[in-house]
Structure 1
Amino acid sequence: MDNITALGGDVYEIDTKMAGFSGITAGYLILSDRPCLVETGTSTSAPVVRDAIASLGVGPDDLATVVVTHIHLDHAGGVGDIARFFPSAQVVVHEKGARHLAEPSRLMASARMVWGDRLDTLFGELSPTEAERIVALGDTGAVDLGNGRTLASHYSPGHAKHHVGLVDSATGDLYVGDAAGVYLPETGDLRPATPPPDFDLKTALDSIALFEALEPQRLLFSHYGPVQAVKETLERSAEELRVWVDLTRQARSEGMDLDHAVAMVRERTKERYSAMTADEATAEQFELLSGAPSNVAGILHWLDRVSP
């Protein structure tokens, strides 16, 4: 299949084809003794992910674990569907997100308020997962991949209060979710992901520092793909956060409303990202991955909380 890339160490990147786009959201299949899927993508992507897993030789009863870095719908929206397709798999998530996978109505209502009718096209509907199949992680934990191999979980809020990073003991891969921002492999651009309501600058920077301290061999971005330059990339992640916060703080101090703040931050940052000056399709892809309105709104929400 053309949406599967072998990354070595029995790890396979699966392009979930979110909303029909390529290179937006990745899932990762670890073909260990106990096969594990990291990130499901959206509900509408679930059949694509199922078919990719099947093409790699994993049958309906063979998938042992599904792990999500957090419960935002581009990462976990397909959990209920994948759980139905693979009825023997446990679903692993941080404890602050577990109840929403079992009973997603509140999460879906909140998402619909943000996305409106676009929700159905972009994400679809998160189906509930039986509570007895959900394993809730604390601030640290481990997923058994079989034969002594584990996926160690590290609580990493800042982007979301239910976010974890995951380290593969065999490869040294760190699954960063959205805590290190979003990466566009076509251009090498990296931009923060700071949506409301959970963004917090100190916590986000602490999570990046934690990732550095873990000394991973490689970063695997959900948006999007593998990055070998670990130290440089995490330093850039922290720098980008500070740039966006400083600009948004300036816009707020000048009394700008959200629309004007977004326009100002977008204009002041566009030269940092070659994607924004590339072709229109690449710019649209980057904006979908890390939208300026969502980022600025999240930072403003945080500023209102810490500096009312």
Structure 2
Amino acid sequence: MTATPSLGGSVHHGIHTVDTGFHRPNFDAAYLMVEGGRAAFIDTGTTHSVPRLLAALASAGLKPEDADWVIVTHVHLDHAGGAGALMQALPNARLLVHPRGERHMVDPSALIAGASEVYGADEVARAYGTIAPIPKERVVVSHDGMAVQLAGRTLTLLDTPGHAKHHHCIWDERSKSFFTGDTFGLSYREFDTAQGPWLLPTTTPVHFDPPALKASVQRLLSYRPESMYLTHYGRVQGVAALGATLLEQIDELVQLALPMRDAADRHAGLKQALSGTYLKRVRAHGCTLPDTEVLHLLENDIELNAQGIGVWLAGDKR
């Protein structure tokens, strides 16, 4: 694994975007925030990503002992899989995690087992590496509205269920921005056009909850943020318009999914419906990539989103 950090464009308000190297370039981001000679990481990528994070810290002129916080938006492995290994390298840092995610950071065995059910044990080992536990005494549990400090810079934690029950977003008053994990959807740079970024909701297993997700998105929008820092991928602006299309797409997903609740071939049907919806929307956005390339870039999301919608349908009692 290369240790060269990939910083995504300009640094805004001391926030560096680090490409974690997961799957493909510009797919999975972690963020390094630097303030007054102190550092915080927000999301970590996988264990394989840790050399990149440490190299980014060094590129910012800081040492491992200068890091005060590792904050994970939620405990899915593309966001928090590297947290244990990163904490081992940062002697003074504390991990900040949603209360529902604490036990998985202290003892990741159930997390690994769950990921193995979705991806297979061999793929989890290959893609994510060894998931290290974090000593409980180094873990801080968040609560809704909690504020923590990075060298006097206030970061506020908001409970944002809908994608995952163990998800919180981080409001940075300095930059008027949120670090949104997966709550504000996915925006891959390959789909950028003259209209700006394109966004889609993520419904990966197993906690997709449309009303909760819409409420979380609306709560984020109520702050009138200037930008959103997405794990997938990077800083996006034009937040109000993006939020409107995200809410619209959540409703659209519900409408296309409900008629398939009892279908014998539900998963295949959901994948086909999602593929058609995404192709229609990227074309309306001005994307000129061939259909095959669009579907290739979204292949993993189509599969996981169909799985997550299927789990929701199985539990939905309406």
Q: Secondary structure at the match of 1:191?
A: coil
Letter in 1 for 2:28: T
Of 98, 106, 125, the match for 2:102: 98
The CA deviation at 1:250 is: 2.5
How has the CA–CA distance of structure 1 residues 45 and 2 changed in structure 2, closer, same or farther, with 3 Å as cutoff?
closer
Letter in 2 for 1:242: D
Identity fraction in percent? 31
Structure 1 residue 159 corresponds to structure 2 residue 163: yes
CA–CA distance in structure 2, aligned partners of residues 240 and 122 of structure 1: 30
Conserved in 1, the CA contact under 8 Å of 2:57 and 2:64?
A: no
How has the CA–CA distance of structure 1 residues 15 and 79 changed in structure 2, closer, same or farther, with 3 Å as cutoff?
same
The CA deviation at 1:281 is: 5.5
Unmatched tracts of structure 1, length 5 or more:
none
* Number of positions where the alignment pairs a residue of Structure 1 with one of Structure 2: 304
The CA deviation at 1:52 is: 1.6
Conserved in 2, the CA contact under 8 Å of 1:249 and 1:300?
A: no
Task: Show the counterpart of 1:137.
Answer: 142
Letter in 2 for 1:297: Q
The CA deviation at 1:122 is: 2.3
The CA deviation at 1:253 is: 5.4
CA–CA distance in structure 2, aligned partners of residues 128 and 219 of structure 1: 30
Unmatched tracts of structure 2, length 5 or more:
192-196
Of 182, 201, 209, the match for 1:192: 201
Structure 1 residue 211 corresponds to structure 2 residue 214: no
Conserved in 1, the CA contact under 8 Å of 2:72 and 2:80?
A: yes
Task: Show the counterpart of 2:87.
Answer: 83
Task: Show the counterpart of 2:7.
Answer: 4
Task: Show the counterpart of 2:35.
Answer: 32
Conserved in 2, the CA contact under 8 Å of 1:39 and 1:69?
A: yes
Q: Secondary structure at the match of 2:47?
A: coil
CA–CA distance in structure 2, aligned partners of residues 28 and 302 of structure 1: 31
Task: List structure 1 runs of 4+ shifted beyond 6 angstroms.
Answer: none
How has the CA–CA distance of structure 1 residues 131 and 281 changed in structure 2, closer, same or farther, with 3 Å as cutoff?
farther
Letter in 2 for 1:159: H
Q: Compute the TM-score of the two structures, normalised by the length of structure 1.
A: 0.92
Deviations 1:71-103 (A, max 9, x none): 000000000011011121111011110110010
Select between 270-279 and 156-165 the one with higher mean Cα deviation.
270-279
Letter in 2 for 1:77: G
How has the CA–CA distance of structure 1 residues 2 and 59 changed in structure 2, closer, same or farther, with 3 Å as cutoff?
closer
CA–CA distance in structure 1, aligned partners of residues 77 and 212 of structure 2: 22
Task: Show the counterpart of 1:286.
Answer: 298
Select between 279-288 and 35-44 the one with higher mean Cα deviation.
279-288
CA–CA distance in structure 1, aligned partners of residues 80 and 22 of structure 2: 12
Letter in 2 for 1:247: L
Please tell me the root mean square deviation across aligned C-alpha atoms, in Å: 1.9
